[in-house]
């Protein structure tokens, strides 16, 4: 009896048997889309940074949960996996835009724990290598000549981040965004494939995603970046939309959130780990290699930033005649 009691005491104390795995054990990153897009890139950045920096002992598993440009993953974490202390989920500015419009169902911006913002990206206007379009002016001229022949492709439906980039660019050129021909895809990987196949003529995607796909052999070209100034790296020669007469910018945050019932102690382990990782020169190189720019917020600071962004996106959506979250 004494031995049984001692073993039970050890188990309850976390010594054997009943002990839960630590938050950095058997880690998983959920990319809320199919492989090849920005969420995939974000997860793999964390995967490399955590392993290379020896913050985890075994490689982080990357899994894919497409659906609703993040909605399926968001609902799964909140409703089915709320206390998983070793699971993080990638998000982007597009996720926040969808939250602002109520596209994640009954769940809202305060229903998860916002962990870390790890890099910034910018929107980009992309065409196939074989496209006759060399600039935004070429695109606008073609739309004005025959709107039926210019089809925009994007990850997500009307109101998504990619749609917003296209809509704001069209509006800046004096065109009616609601008259655009638009095809929705489940993530950037599908949209790029459609672009190369000639099924769409323009893809309003992300600069880092496009650069990674070009490095991987995709036959695409970036004709404009939606940044305040030209980007560094492989897209340094691409002019901004502003340079081409269209006052459009679209910065994008990339980062991670966790389930709402992850304990404060485990969440702090993750926050501290990301803070240490993002402070290293090795991580700065990994981020730059993926064409991302410095952006580092964690925990409470990120939570405040995210909620402010969702408010801003709600106002923008309303200006374009779209529904917003209630």
| Predicted confidence (pLDDT) at residue 108 exceeds the cutoff of 70 | yes
pLDDT band with cut points at 50, 70 and 90 for residue 20: low
| Predicted confidence (pLDDT) at residue 13 exceeds the cutoff of 60 | no
The per-residue pLDDT for 256 is 98
pTM of the model: 0.77
pLDDT higher at 172 or 31: 31
| Predicted confidence (pLDDT) at residue 130 exceeds the cutoff of 80 | yes
The domain locations on the chain are 25-120+252-319, 122-250
Rounded to the nearest 10°, the torsion over CA 50, 54, 57, 58 is: 50
The per-residue pLDDT for 9 is 40
| Predicted confidence (pLDDT) at residue 3 exceeds the cutoff of 80 | no
pLDDT (mean) for 103-126? 95
What would the DSSP string read from start to end of 235-253? Answer: GTTSPBTGGGT-----EEE
pLDDT band with cut points at 50, 70 and 90 for residue 174: confident
pLDDT (mean) for 106-119? 97
| Predicted confidence (pLDDT) at residue 321 exceeds the cutoff of 90 | no
| Predicted confidence (pLDDT) at residue 18 exceeds the cutoff of 70 | no
pLDDT digits (tens, 9 = 90+) for 249-258: 998 899 999 9
Of 57, 108, 105, which Cα lies nearest the Cα of 307? 108
The per-residue pLDDT for 208 is 85
| Predicted confidence (pLDDT) at residue 5 exceeds the cutoff of 90 | no
pLDDT band with cut points at 50, 70 and 90 for residue 290: confident
| Predicted confidence (pLDDT) at residue 6 exceeds the cutoff of 90 | no
| Predicted confidence (pLDDT) at residue 214 exceeds the cutoff of 80 | yes
Q: What percentage of residues in the chain have a pLDDT greater than 70?
A: 94
pLDDT band with cut points at 50, 70 and 90 for residue 324: confident
pLDDT (mean) for 252-265? 97
CATH class of the 122-250 domain in this structure? alpha beta
pLDDT band with cut points at 50, 70 and 90 for residue 60: very high
Helix (H) or strand (E) run with residue 87 in it:
strand 87-92
SS3 92: strand
For domain 25-120+252-319, give the CATH number. Answer: 3.40.190.150
Average pLDDT in the chain: 89
Alpha helices by DSSP H, listed for the chain, are: 2-12, 38-52, 71-79, 93-100, 136-145, 161-172, 188-196, 207-215, 264-278, 281-289, 299-319
The per-residue pLDDT for 16 is 38
pLDDT (mean) for 104-116? 96
Tokens of 191: 């949209």
Q: What percentage of residues in the chain have a pLDDT greater than 90?
A: 66
CATH fold match for the domains 25-120+252-319 and 122-250: yes
């Amino acid at each position: 009896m004494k031995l049984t009691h001692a073993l039970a005491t050890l188990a309850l104390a976390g010594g054997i048997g009943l002990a839960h795995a630590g938050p950095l054990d058997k880690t998983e990153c959920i990319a809320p889309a199919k492989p090849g897009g920005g969420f995939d890139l974000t997860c793999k950045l964390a995967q490399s940074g955590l392993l290379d920096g020896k913050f985890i002992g075994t490689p982080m598993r990357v899994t894919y949960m497409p659906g609703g440009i993040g909605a399926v993953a968001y609902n799964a974490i909140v409703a089915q996996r709320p206390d998983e202390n070793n699971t993080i989920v990638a998000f982007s500015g597009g996720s926040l835009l969808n939250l602002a419009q109520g596209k994640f169902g009954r769940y809202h911006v305060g229903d998860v724990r916002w962990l870390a913002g790890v890099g910034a990206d910018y929107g980009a206007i992309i065409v196939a290598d074989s496209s006759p379009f060399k600039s935004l002016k070429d695109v606008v001229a073609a739309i004005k000549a025959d709107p039926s022949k210019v089809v925009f492709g994007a990850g997500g439906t009307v109101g998504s981040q990619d749609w917003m980039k296209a809509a704001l660019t069209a509006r800046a050129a004096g065109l009616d965004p609601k008259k655009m021909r638009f095809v929705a895809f489940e993530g950037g990987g599908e949209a790029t494939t459609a672009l190369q196949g000639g099924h769409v003529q323009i893809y309003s995607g992300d600069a880092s995603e496009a650069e990674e796909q070009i490095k991987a052999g995709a036959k695409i070209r970036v004709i404009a970046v939606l940044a305040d100034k030209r980007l560094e790296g492989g897209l340094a020669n691409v002019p901004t939309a502003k340079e081409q007469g269209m006052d459009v910018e679209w910065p994008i945050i990339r980062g991670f959130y966790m389930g709402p019932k992850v304990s404060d102690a485990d969440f702090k382990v993750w926050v501290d780990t990301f803070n240490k990782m993002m402070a290293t020169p090795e991580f700065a190189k990994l981020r730059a290699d993926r064409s991302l720019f410095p952006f580092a917020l964690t925990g409470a600071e990120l939570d405040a930033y995210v909620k402010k962004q969702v408010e801003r996106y709600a106002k923008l959506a309303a200006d374009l005649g779209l529904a917003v979250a209630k």
